[in-house]
Amino acid sequence: MGLVTDIALGILLVAALLVVVRLVKGPTTLDRAAAADVFVAILLCGVAVLVARRGSTVFVPVLLALSLLGFASSVAVVRFVGREGPTGRSDDEVEEGSGS
């Protein structure tokens, strides 16, 4: 079982690195928000594999906290970026606001 969890953790590490590359490159804030969301999901998978590897349930509350934290953070970023209403679109303001 140790070998299987090692392989799974390695695959998850490669996936997380690819997502981090997108997190750094991402041309807009929304791309980064999507990448951060996926990163939290991969982190959840990694902690779950760690629970299986150690056979102890110490990290299960961490899983619960992370799953809610990822949702709240992505919603906060998206609400910050896409604040304007359905009719009041302003692309230039959004682009300027996303640079910082």
Partner 1 sequence: MSVGDWVSAVLLLSGSLLALAAGIGMLRFPDLWMRMHAGTKPQVLGLLLVLAGVEVQLVPDASAVVALLFVGLFQLVTAPVASHLLARAGHRSGVVPREQLLQDDLRVFELECAAGDHPESSPPQGSTPSS
Distance CA 97, CA 28 (A): 10
Distance in Å, CB of 12 to partner 1, minimum: 5
Encoded tokens for 80: 């910050």
Distance CA 36, CA 66 (A): 12
CA atoms within a 13 Å half-sphere pointing along the CA-CB vector of 99: 5
53 touches 2 (CB < 8 A): yes
Q: Where in 34-73 is the site for partner 1 (CB under 8 A)?
A: 34-35, 37-38, 41-42, 44-45, 48-49, 51-52, 55, 57, 60-61, 63-64, 67-68, 70-71
If DSSP codes are grouped into helix, strand and coil, which group holds residue 40?
helix
Binding site for partner 1 (CB under 8 A): 1, 4-5, 7-9, 11-12, 14-19, 21-22, 28, 30-31, 33-35, 37-38, 41-42, 44-45, 48-49, 51-52, 55, 57, 60-61, 63-64, 67-68, 70-71, 74-75, 78-79, 81-82, 84-87, 89, 91, 94-95
